[in-house]
Structure 1
């Protein structure tokens, strides 16, 4: 199923036809979740791959065998993608499932379930830069002529998967014991503490050695060289790594190397308008003071997503 030039419009949101059909998108809305399922919910380029790897390792007590032998899309398949139903036949409980769908579309399917949801958020400036570069190497996404052109579409919400603003506000309004919020930046600044919090939420406490292995194998450098994570096994007709790697930098604040002053001013203006009344807090760049970073890491007091 190539369909590299096809775009599906579903519920007012565009999706790449290479991965989605009207049937697969509609099927996601009526999926029968099991109470033992864990759902990773993200907007694209927010740390989805990272969380898939983290949960694979946590579910396997730090053993990297599965993460080294099974592609991430087969370990934690995307609910809305066309191959989902076939992959799910091979998964046993407890299952890991991934989605980029906004909350309002999945709300009916999640209602009255005990599914554990992990929502990963990331500062949208870094998302915009990462998403732009992803469009350049993913042949199933339209390539924009310039970052300025892409940024305008991103701020308007007219890119694939819809508006970041709608996505993050929709999911972060859900305050229940079954929903866990974490930011990309929090994981980057304090991975050990983040792993401990996630394992506690899942009810999967790990021994020190198991936690050490999990932390080691889900580092950015390990994931970047793992073909089961970095998509280098995908045909170059679909992802052209000669135009850039799928896993590029994995840093906080890379937007500063891309944004012009005018683009930043434009972004800040739209952000203030669309996020008015929201209590969400984002880290826009990594701390420059090593002592401050070390202290935050040791104390496990890294700023993270807060929800009103």
Structure 2
């Protein structure tokens, strides 16, 4: 199916009709935040599910029930998603944890008034592209990626769901308020240190043993076994995991196995142009 059939253009970007309705977007724009809310802001395929595993464990002091009793999309719901309005988010105990794939300037008015804490997770865009290419080929709500060269062009031009990676990352890097920036690569390199930093940002005091337990549980191969996080419980038939698992490899640098040398060089050229004014030092560079 085509973009016109599966996607809606909302504030200049493609969004999936499956995950977003006029009702859900209205609910999102009218949502009332609390000062102690926690938002996980990511461009798709940048470590969202991983962070949805780590943060509840930090908040609960390492209690495994925090990630074993609800699917990740319910324990850390997407505020702009179709199901947000039916989850009774107003009744969730504080601190509430939410996810969003929207850009900073797309957040609702209450967000800018209350200024809740935000964890902005970023990932090497070449790996984001690689993961998105596989995901688009197995998810029913996504337009089939087609030839890799064509999907690469769409990705670099932002003609994919949630728009341009470049615009998304820059929007959250320029965000005002209480924002922590962390990368997928930092979490890969030293998960224990990343958990420690996240706990500090979330003002949660954890002892060394608890931090180690959380880090061990959230190593990709261990998280992948959690049926509440690996999307094996998602809507039957919606994702064809015989083509690609939702939690696929969980590594950094897989783009080297995906992009041709010419594609990688072209990607670098576009990246340098789009990011030339960004001062932030990314861990993948």
TM-score normalised per structure 2: 0.94
Report matched runs for 1:94-133 at 5 Å: 94-106=95-107, 108-133=109-134
- Cα offsets for 1:10-55 (capped at 9, x unmatched): 1111111111112312332331101110000000011001111000
Q: 1:29: which partner in 2?
A: 29
Distance in 2 of aligned mates of 1:140 and 1:122: 23
8 Å Cα contact 1:62/1:212 also seen in 2: no
Distance in 2 of aligned mates of 1:235 and 1:202: 32
Give the deviation of 1:60 after TM superposition: 1.1
Would the alpha carbon gap of residues 236 and 107 (structure 1) be closer, same or farther in structure 2, given more than 3 Å must change?
A: closer
Q: 1:292: which partner in 2?
A: none
Q: 1:301: which partner in 2?
A: none
Report matched runs for 1:61-140 at 5 Å: 61-87=61-87, 88-106=89-107, 108-140=109-141
Question: Is the aligned partner of 1:247 residue 2:263?
Answer: no
Give the deviation of 1:175 after TM superposition: 4.6
8 Å Cα contact 1:6/1:17 also seen in 2: yes
Question: Is the aligned partner of 1:158 residue 2:156?
Answer: no
Q: 1:189: which partner in 2?
A: 189
- Cα offsets for 1:103-127 (capped at 9, x unmatched): 1111633223141111001110000
Distance in 1 of aligned mates of 2:8 and 2:91: 27
Q: 1:235: which partner in 2?
A: 235
Distance in 2 of aligned mates of 1:116 and 1:212: 24
Larger RCO (alpha carbons 8 Å, 6+ apart): 2
Distance in 2 of aligned mates of 1:267 and 1:6: 27
TM-score normalised per structure 1: 0.87
The residue matched to 1:247 in structure 2 has which SS? coil
- Structure 1 unaligned regions, length at least 5: 286-308
- Cα offsets for 1:243-280 (capped at 9, x unmatched): 11001111111000011111112111111111111123
Distance in 2 of aligned mates of 1:76 and 1:234: 15
Distance in 2 of aligned mates of 1:42 and 1:52: 11
8 Å Cα contact 1:8/1:16 also seen in 2: yes
Q: 1:269: which partner in 2?
A: 269
- Structure 2 unaligned regions, length at least 5: none
Paired residues, what number? 280
Give the deviation of 1:90 after TM superposition: 4.9
Distance in 2 of aligned mates of 1:93 and 1:143: 39
Distance in 1 of aligned mates of 2:176 and 2:235: 41
Give the deviation of 1:143 after TM superposition: 0.8
The residue matched to 1:243 in structure 2 has which SS? coil
